[in-house]
Structure 1
């Protein structure tokens, strides 16, 4: 997921959350008989969401219920599409590699991730590595998480991984640049009681 899409999602979720929270608090306040603004549609605990006249207002119209059902169906489908988009991984399935003969070849993304993680784990000071390929097939990017041993120097480990695994990957797929976002975290060991 791009940073723009992530920012839009966070803003949208925040706005929807604030509106729903404010509405819920106002409905609870009206139901409890607390003061609510004069423009608020529900003013007290005896008030209802839709009065009898409002419920019967469109009853005789043939277009009313199909319209209500259609609008609600569209809202539910849009919400489901948005949810599926959030759950879908943005992992790149493969990279387009120029084979030099005019045809291209596709390198599986999982294979490259596995090789890169293996190479990074062989660097002294790296306890575990996790690599995920993102971006487009012709312009891939890497997201790397390295779990460092307590004795490891983050700068030295990053230099070794960049000069080894990242350079090998860049050269093997024929890219001039292979951007990578690397996150480093140290292993934490908890003391254990010895009896």
Structure 2
């Protein structure tokens, strides 16, 4: 599961919980139940503006139990650690700002190429390949060497195998040769549009569960 999906799920859950709590507090604080003639059950958390959110009985109900404070402290610790991990994960960058180009025999000269410039060159080189409608390429960190991640959308009837061969022999080979890299692995995700009836937009084959994926080493 990607970081974006995890973020959306977590943010969605937090948003639903906060929205529910906010609605309950707002309804009780504005005395909406009495005004609307609604009789909430006795266990309802907040029913009037004069009622505390957490009653004195609820606050002191479990304090005398031996498991209460270890459970509270342990639960809060897990929450803090989880939020800290989430924050660190957001701050950690997976993409590269630049890539080092080997310069043997130049007396310590260091040469760097902008990662975005390389990505744009690869995207352009992939877009002009046969049957390619759209391409997006990103350079990411990987142990020992950078790695490419690409997403390509083919026109209806496109050949994924042929695209992989063109990509490997064309844009990827040009990048390896130009940057003098020993290797440049790539993960290529391919989607093929389906033929659509006249007057309708083509549909992606991925929506029907047919997903093209090929890893180049």
TM-score of the pair, normalised by structure 2: 0.53
Counterpart in the other structure of 1:94:
98
1:84 equivalent in alignment to 2:92: no
1:166 equivalent in alignment to 2:172: yes
Task: Give the direction of change, closer, same or farther, for the CA distance of 1:49–1:181 in structure 2 (3 Å limit).
Answer: farther
Counterpart in the other structure of 1:178:
184
1:189 Cα deviation after fit: 5.4
Task: Give the direction of change, closer, same or farther, for the CA distance of 1:103–1:71 in structure 2 (3 Å limit).
Answer: farther
Q: 1:55 aligns with which of 44, 60, 63?
A: 63
Give the Cα–Cα distance (whole angstroms) in 1 for the partners of residues 198 and 89 of structure 2: 40
1:135 Cα deviation after fit: 2.2
Secondary structure of the corresponding residue to residue 94 of structure 2: coil
1:57 Cα deviation after fit: 7.2
1:97 Cα deviation after fit: 1.2
Q: State how many pairs are aligned.
A: 143
Structure number with the bigger relative contact order (C-alpha 8 A, sep ≥ 6) is 1
TM-score of the pair, normalised by structure 1: 0.58
Counterpart in the other structure of 1:105:
111
Give the Cα–Cα distance (whole angstroms) in 2 for the partners of residues 170 and 137 of structure 1: 17
Kept after mapping to 2: 8 A contact 1:92/1:136:
no
Give the Cα–Cα distance (whole angstroms) in 2 for the partners of residues 112 and 132 of structure 1: 9
1:1-195 aligned at under 5 Å gives the runs 52=61, 54-55=62-63, 72=76, 74-88=77-91, 89-100=93-104, 101=106, 102-136=108-142, 139-188=145-194, 190-191=196-197, 193=199
1:79 Cα deviation after fit: 2.3
Kept after mapping to 2: 8 A contact 1:96/1:137:
no
Q: Any gaps of 5 or more consecutive residues in structure 1? A: 14-30, 32-47, 59-63
1:124 Cα deviation after fit: 1.1
RMSD, matched Cα: 3.7
Q: Any gaps of 5 or more consecutive residues in structure 2? A: 11-42, 44-56, 201-217
Kept after mapping to 2: 8 A contact 1:92/1:134:
yes
Runs of 4+ aligned structure 1 residues displaced above 3 Å come to 48-52, 68-72, 74-77, 85-89, 188-194
Kept after mapping to 2: 8 A contact 1:97/1:106:
yes
